[in-house]
Amino acid sequence: MATPFSITSPVDGSLIPAGSYLSYAEADEKLARAENAQRIWRSTPVTQRVGVVRRFLDCFDAQLEENARQVSLAMGKPIRQARGEIAGMRARAEALCWQASLVLADQSLPAKDNLERMIRHEPLGVVLDIAAWNYPYLVAINVIAPALLAGNAVLVKHAPQTACVGAQLERAFLQAQAPQGLLQDLMVDHQVAHELLRTRRIAHVGFTGSVRGGHEVYARVAEAGFASCGLEMGGKDAAIVLPDADMSQTAIALVDGAFYNAGQSCCAVERIYVPKPAMGQFVEAFVAETHRLRLGDPLDEGTTLGPVVSKEAAVRIEAQVKSAVARGARVVSDARMFYAPRRSDCYLAPQVLTGVDHTMDLMTEESFGPVIGIMSYESEEQAVRLANDSRYGLTASIWTPDHERALGLADQLQVGTVYMNRCDAVDPELPWVGVKESGLGFTLSHLGILSMTRPKSFNFKLR
């Protein structure tokens, strides 16, 4: 029998009924419905699959305001950013929709020795999407859209903090007249999820979350059978500012990259390397721009910085800052610029630190909050070495007007995506991929669609 649970809103500390954990029997019934839906869906022409996904987007947009408000209350994202995330979900899904027919078409090879040779991209089956709370729409659609377009059914196990999103997604797909069971909200605990994996009826697991969570999921998938697995985990993304960059404009862009969504982004900028002679100018511009942020109630249209997701997160972030200061770092931003009524313990002023180095967790371990360390360097070789001195490898950014210089440095950076003069952005026509402990596999782009299929070879002798 389903077990109801509540979450604590970071906005005001109130308890919000969030949903119910399904029993194994209830979850198994949903898995059976997904299997039945997928048997029909796999034979549905790609053009019709695209039509269902686009109708889903229209149905979701019809409830945009209420959906965005629920997310703001659940995890503290400013309402304007929540609306923007829903728009981003549409953009990603549309980018995959227009590619689907071409990507999934049979690939014929040249005739050889009276042989007809062809590769067909078959769907995997039922996909389990374990989605994170920080970007609850974007994280989910990264798996849902390519999986459905490729002919799979999807079960969405969303983070409990944003359980509302799983229900929102299922409702919109039903309104879009998708087959019953094709996309289902699956709120289960870890044990029930593990038991479902052990049935070997789930063909692929897409996970977004912490490194520890990724290790646990990967181990359980390996223990349970032969499902494929995609992992997007932590990041400690670096920005390298070169001497010829416009320091003021670069600082403005990097403040947004560091503090958007209260820094709770997998690809948030978490450490910045600046040439020593430009350090003073850059830090001054960065702090000035930081002081323009407005900390407050995420439902207030003027808020640009909301609370972090939980009291536990706030305590962890503050501990990282205190440890860095104890080792000689200095906070150069002014917390007095960010007065906000203490409606909960989750409201943190953004903090900018200098005097940092790689002996500090602040520069080596994921912060996932509104804090940034800025460190000087003396040579480009040193900057690259510092950027690569991390167990993570999601993104990095290079700031310079010199394209060739940026390209040369980008080749040396051990990350999945390198930006020039931008950061904290995802292009759905490019694969989203991490290296080291940032990830395994990829989503988005034509490669993301193909990752939700298995190739089948046809080798026909004609005579």
The residues annotated as belonging to the active site are 232, 266
Cβ(446)–Cβ(100) below 8 Å: no
Q: How many CB atoms lie within 10 A of CB 462?
A: 8
CA 335 – CA 268 distance, rounded (Å):
21
CA 265 – CA 134 distance, rounded (Å):
7
Residue 191: CB partners within 8 Å, gap ≥ 6? none
CA 26 – CA 127 distance, rounded (Å):
17
Work out the burial of residue 427: count CB atoms within 10 Å of its CB; fewer than 13 is exposed, 13-18 middle, 19 or more buried.
middle
Instruction: Count, in order, helices (H) and strands (E) of the chain.
Output: 15, 22
Cβ(264)–Cβ(309) below 8 Å: yes
- Residue 147: phi and psi, rounded to 5, are -65, -50
Tokens of 158: 């969303």
DSSP string covering 357-386, please? -TTSHHHHS---SSEEEEEEESSHHHHHHH
Cβ(93)–Cβ(137) below 8 Å: no
CA 295 – CA 190 distance, rounded (Å):
35
Residue labelled with tokens 């000035």: 288
Residue 162: CB partners within 8 Å, gap ≥ 6? 71, 74, 75, 131, 133, 136
SS3 call for 400: coil
Cβ(202)–Cβ(128) below 8 Å: yes
CA distances from 316 to 75, 199, 270, 324, 440 (A): 17, 37, 15, 13, 26
Total residues belonging to the chain: 463
CA 109 – CA 411 distance, rounded (Å):
33
Work out the burial of residue 339: count CB atoms within 10 Å of its CB; fewer than 13 is exposed, 13-18 middle, 19 or more buried.
exposed
Q: What are residue 372's DSSP bridge partners? A: 352
DSSP string covering 330-347, please? EE-S-GGGG----SSTT-
